[in-house]
Amino acid sequence: MSVIMITYDLHKPGDSGYNAIYEYIKGYEHRHPVESVWFIDTLKSPKEIRDEMESILPYPENDRLIVIRQKKSGWATFRTPILAKWFNDDSRTWDK
């Protein structure tokens, strides 16, 4: 398992594509600290997540998606105490 960061930029903001993305991400243990940035805890690789999400993007030829595996020592937050608590939770499964 690992913590994965997902961020995206949809071609047409306000499009119903957001709902499909939200529903997909909410299928995982997750946090949503700022607009268009999510963190999930998953057994899947960034490539697997990207491939699955690509199929639900409303305009894949124009939308942008970034999926990055995080490391426990590779984060810092500012004014996001709920995210910091989530990162520090012993149940998180960090990539070593």
**Which domains occur in the chain, in start order?**
2-88 (3.30.70.240)
List, for residues 1-41, the tens digit of each pLDDT value.
699 999 998 877 656 677 888 999 999 999 999 988 999 99
Local confidence band at 63 (pLDDT 50, 70, 90 cut-offs): confident
CA 44 remoteness from chain centre = 12
User: Would you state the pLDDT for residue 73?
Assistant: 84
Rg of the chain over Cα atoms, rounded to whole angstroms, equals 13
45 burial (CB, 10 Å; 0-12 / 13-18 / 19+) is middle
29 within 8 A of 1, measured Cβ to Cβ: no
List, for residues 64-84, the tens digit of each pLDDT value.
999 999 988 888 999 999 999
Q: Give the integer Cα–Cα distance in Å for 17 and 80.
A: 26
When comparing pLDDT for 12 and 55, which is higher? 55
